[in-house]
Amino acid sequence: MGPDYKAIEQEAIDSLDTLAAVPGFQGMVGRLIGWIDTLFTGMAVVALVAIAGTVLLQVVSRLFLPFSPAWTEELSRYLFLYMVALAAGVVLRKNRNVNVELFHHCLGIRARAAYQALICLLIAGFAWVVLPHAWQYAQNGAWQTSPTLRIPMLYIFFSTVVTFGLLLFYGVIGFLEGGIAMFRPLDRNEQETP
Protein backbone atom coordinates (compact mmCIF):
# COMPACT_ATOMS: atom_id res chain seq x y z
CA MET A 1 0.00 0.00 0.00
CA GLY A 2 1.89 2.99 -1.30
CA PRO A 3 1.30 6.71 -1.03
CA ASP A 4 -1.21 6.55 -3.89
CA TYR A 5 -3.42 4.31 -1.79
CA LYS A 6 -3.44 6.82 1.07
CA ALA A 7 -4.33 9.67 -1.29
CA ILE A 8 -7.17 7.67 -2.83
CA GLU A 9 -8.41 6.68 0.62
CA GLN A 10 -8.37 10.31 1.80
CA GLU A 11 -10.18 11.41 -1.36
CA ALA A 12 -12.88 8.78 -0.77
CA ILE A 13 -13.34 9.90 2.83
CA ASP A 14 -13.54 13.55 1.76
CA SER A 15 -16.13 12.71 -0.89
CA LEU A 16 -18.29 11.06 1.77
CA ASP A 17 -18.12 14.12 3.99
CA THR A 18 -19.17 16.93 1.68
CA LEU A 19 -19.25 19.54 4.43
CA ALA A 20 -15.55 18.95 5.13
CA ALA A 21 -14.87 21.35 2.26
CA VAL A 22 -16.12 24.23 4.44
CA PRO A 23 -12.97 25.64 6.04
CA GLY A 24 -12.81 26.01 9.79
CA PHE A 25 -11.05 28.58 11.92
CA GLN A 26 -7.30 28.82 11.47
CA GLY A 27 -4.53 30.18 13.66
CA MET A 28 -4.75 30.51 17.41
CA VAL A 29 -8.56 30.33 17.48
CA GLY A 30 -8.50 27.13 15.43
CA ARG A 31 -5.89 25.58 17.72
CA LEU A 32 -7.87 26.58 20.82
CA ILE A 33 -11.03 25.00 19.41
CA GLY A 34 -8.98 21.92 18.48
CA TRP A 35 -7.76 21.64 22.08
CA ILE A 36 -11.32 21.95 23.35
CA ASP A 37 -12.38 19.24 20.87
CA THR A 38 -9.57 17.01 22.14
CA LEU A 39 -10.56 17.63 25.76
CA PHE A 40 -14.20 16.66 25.29
CA THR A 41 -13.33 13.75 23.01
CA GLY A 42 -10.88 12.48 25.61
CA MET A 43 -13.45 12.78 28.38
CA ALA A 44 -15.99 10.87 26.26
CA VAL A 45 -13.41 8.14 25.59
CA VAL A 46 -12.69 7.87 29.33
CA ALA A 47 -16.43 7.44 29.92
CA LEU A 48 -16.55 4.74 27.21
CA VAL A 49 -13.62 2.86 28.74
CA ALA A 50 -15.24 3.15 32.16
CA ILE A 51 -18.47 1.71 30.72
CA ALA A 52 -16.54 -1.22 29.28
CA GLY A 53 -14.80 -1.80 32.63
CA THR A 54 -18.06 -1.59 34.55
CA VAL A 55 -19.87 -4.02 32.24
CA LEU A 56 -16.87 -6.38 32.27
CA LEU A 57 -16.92 -6.32 36.09
CA GLN A 58 -20.61 -7.20 36.03
CA VAL A 59 -20.09 -10.11 33.62
CA VAL A 60 -17.09 -11.47 35.53
CA SER A 61 -18.86 -11.19 38.87
CA ARG A 62 -21.93 -13.02 37.56
CA LEU A 63 -19.82 -15.84 36.15
CA PHE A 64 -17.10 -16.29 38.73
CA LEU A 65 -18.13 -14.68 42.02
CA PRO A 66 -20.85 -15.74 44.45
CA PHE A 67 -22.36 -12.26 44.27
CA SER A 68 -22.62 -9.51 41.68
CA PRO A 69 -22.55 -5.82 42.56
CA ALA A 70 -25.87 -4.11 42.01
CA TRP A 71 -24.37 -0.71 41.23
CA THR A 72 -22.64 -1.66 37.97
CA GLU A 73 -25.73 -1.46 35.79
CA GLU A 74 -26.66 1.94 37.20
CA LEU A 75 -23.13 3.31 36.83
CA SER A 76 -22.90 2.13 33.23
CA ARG A 77 -26.12 4.00 32.41
CA TYR A 78 -24.83 7.22 33.97
CA LEU A 79 -21.50 6.91 32.20
CA PHE A 80 -23.33 6.39 28.92
CA LEU A 81 -25.32 9.58 29.50
CA TYR A 82 -22.15 11.57 30.07
CA MET A 83 -20.34 9.93 27.16
CA VAL A 84 -23.10 11.09 24.81
CA ALA A 85 -23.30 14.51 26.46
CA LEU A 86 -19.56 15.14 26.17
CA ALA A 87 -19.35 13.92 22.58
CA ALA A 88 -22.45 15.68 21.20
CA GLY A 89 -20.75 18.99 20.46
CA VAL A 90 -17.68 17.44 18.85
CA VAL A 91 -19.92 15.25 16.71
CA LEU A 92 -21.70 18.39 15.51
CA ARG A 93 -18.39 20.13 14.77
CA LYS A 94 -17.00 17.17 12.81
CA ASN A 95 -20.28 16.74 10.87
CA ARG A 96 -20.63 13.16 12.09
CA ASN A 97 -24.33 13.29 12.91
CA VAL A 98 -26.56 10.83 11.13
CA ASN A 99 -27.98 12.65 8.16
CA VAL A 100 -29.34 12.10 4.69
CA GLU A 101 -27.19 13.65 2.00
CA LEU A 102 -29.46 14.03 -0.98
CA PHE A 103 -28.09 17.23 -2.43
CA HIS A 104 -24.88 18.13 -0.56
CA HIS A 105 -22.60 16.91 -3.34
CA CYS A 106 -24.37 19.19 -5.83
CA LEU A 107 -23.58 22.33 -3.84
CA GLY A 108 -20.62 24.60 -4.37
CA ILE A 109 -18.31 25.75 -1.59
CA ARG A 110 -20.36 28.84 -0.70
CA ALA A 111 -23.64 26.93 -0.74
CA ARG A 112 -22.15 24.26 1.53
CA ALA A 113 -20.97 26.99 3.88
CA ALA A 114 -24.46 28.55 3.86
CA TYR A 115 -26.00 25.14 4.53
CA GLN A 116 -23.62 24.55 7.46
CA ALA A 117 -24.35 28.02 8.84
CA LEU A 118 -28.11 27.43 8.62
CA ILE A 119 -28.02 24.00 10.26
CA CYS A 120 -25.70 25.17 13.05
CA LEU A 121 -27.86 28.25 13.62
CA LEU A 122 -30.96 26.05 13.99
CA ILE A 123 -29.18 23.69 16.38
CA ALA A 124 -27.72 26.54 18.43
CA GLY A 125 -31.13 28.24 18.55
CA PHE A 126 -32.78 25.05 19.75
CA ALA A 127 -30.09 24.54 22.38
CA TRP A 128 -30.49 28.18 23.50
CA VAL A 129 -34.22 27.64 24.04
CA VAL A 130 -33.84 24.29 25.80
CA LEU A 131 -30.81 25.11 27.98
CA PRO A 132 -32.72 26.97 30.77
CA HIS A 133 -35.22 24.11 30.94
CA ALA A 134 -32.38 21.60 31.13
CA TRP A 135 -31.00 23.52 34.10
CA GLN A 136 -34.43 23.44 35.79
CA TYR A 137 -34.58 19.71 35.12
CA ALA A 138 -31.14 19.23 36.65
CA GLN A 139 -32.14 21.18 39.75
CA ASN A 140 -35.05 18.79 40.27
CA GLY A 141 -32.49 16.12 41.10
CA ALA A 142 -30.98 18.10 43.99
CA TRP A 143 -33.13 16.36 46.58
CA GLN A 144 -33.10 12.91 44.98
CA THR A 145 -30.41 10.25 45.14
CA SER A 146 -29.72 7.34 42.83
CA PRO A 147 -31.05 3.97 44.02
CA THR A 148 -27.81 2.02 44.48
CA LEU A 149 -24.93 4.50 44.24
CA ARG A 150 -26.65 7.09 46.46
CA ILE A 151 -25.27 10.04 44.54
CA PRO A 152 -27.41 13.16 44.09
CA MET A 153 -29.39 12.96 40.87
CA LEU A 154 -28.43 16.59 40.23
CA TYR A 155 -25.12 15.28 38.87
CA ILE A 156 -26.89 12.80 36.62
CA PHE A 157 -29.52 15.23 35.37
CA PHE A 158 -26.76 17.80 34.77
CA SER A 159 -25.78 15.76 31.71
CA THR A 160 -28.67 17.49 29.87
CA VAL A 161 -27.14 20.88 30.67
CA VAL A 162 -23.77 19.65 29.38
CA THR A 163 -25.38 18.34 26.19
CA PHE A 164 -27.26 21.51 25.30
CA GLY A 165 -24.46 23.78 26.49
CA LEU A 166 -21.98 22.06 24.19
CA LEU A 167 -24.47 22.01 21.31
CA LEU A 168 -24.95 25.75 21.78
CA PHE A 169 -21.18 26.37 21.90
CA TYR A 170 -20.38 24.24 18.87
CA GLY A 171 -23.45 25.44 16.99
CA VAL A 172 -22.23 29.03 17.31
CA ILE A 173 -18.76 27.97 16.14
CA GLY A 174 -20.20 26.13 13.13
CA PHE A 175 -22.42 29.11 12.28
CA LEU A 176 -19.47 31.50 12.42
CA GLU A 177 -17.28 29.20 10.34
CA GLY A 178 -20.01 28.79 7.74
CA GLY A 179 -20.76 32.51 7.70
CA ILE A 180 -17.13 33.46 7.28
CA ALA A 181 -16.62 30.82 4.58
CA MET A 182 -19.59 32.18 2.60
CA PHE A 183 -17.99 35.60 2.20
CA ARG A 184 -14.28 34.85 1.99
CA PRO A 185 -12.55 34.93 -1.39
CA LEU A 186 -12.10 31.55 -3.04
CA ASP A 187 -8.64 30.11 -3.66
CA ARG A 188 -7.59 29.12 -7.17
CA ASN A 189 -7.93 25.44 -6.26
CA GLU A 190 -11.49 25.86 -5.03
CA GLN A 191 -14.35 25.88 -7.47
CA GLU A 192 -17.78 27.33 -6.96
CA THR A 193 -19.30 24.33 -8.72
CA PRO A 194 -18.86 20.87 -7.17
pLDDT in tens, 90-140: 999 988 787 777 777 788 888 889 999 999 999 999 999 999 999 999 999
Question: Which of 16, 83, 22 has its CA nearest to residue 48?
Answer: 83
User: For the chain, how long is the longest CA-to-CA vector?
Assistant: 70
- pLDDT (average), residues 183-193: 65
pLDDT at 192 over 80: no
Q: What's the pLDDT at 95? A: 83
pLDDT at 141 over 80: yes
Size of the chain, expressed as the number of residues it contains: 194
Mean pLDDT across the chain:
88
Q: What's the pLDDT at 159? A: 97
Helices 109-140 & 153-183, crossing angle to 10 degrees?
160
pLDDT at 80 over 90: yes
Q: What's the pLDDT at 45? A: 98
Residue 36 — very low, low, confident or very high, per pLDDT cuts 50/70/90? Answer: very high
pLDDT in tens, 157-177: 999 999 999 999 999 999 999
- pLDDT (average), residues 5-19: 69
| CA 10 – CA 5 distance, rounded (Å) | 9
Q: Using the Cα atoms of residue 70, residue 51, residue 75 and residue 81 in order, give the sign of their dihedral.
A: negative
Q: What's the pLDDT at 59? A: 93
pTM of the predicted model, to two decimals? 0.85
Three-state secondary structure string covering the chain: CCHHHHHHHHHHHHHHCHHHHCCCCCHHHHHHHHHHHHHHHHHHHHHHHHHHHHHHHHHHHHHHCCCCCCHHHHHHHHHHHHHHHHHHHHHHHCCCCCCCCCCHHHCCHHHHHHHHHHHHHHHHHHHHHHHHHHHHHHHHHHHCECCCCCCEHHHHHHHHHHHHHHHHHHHHHHHHHHHHHHHCCCCCCCCCCC
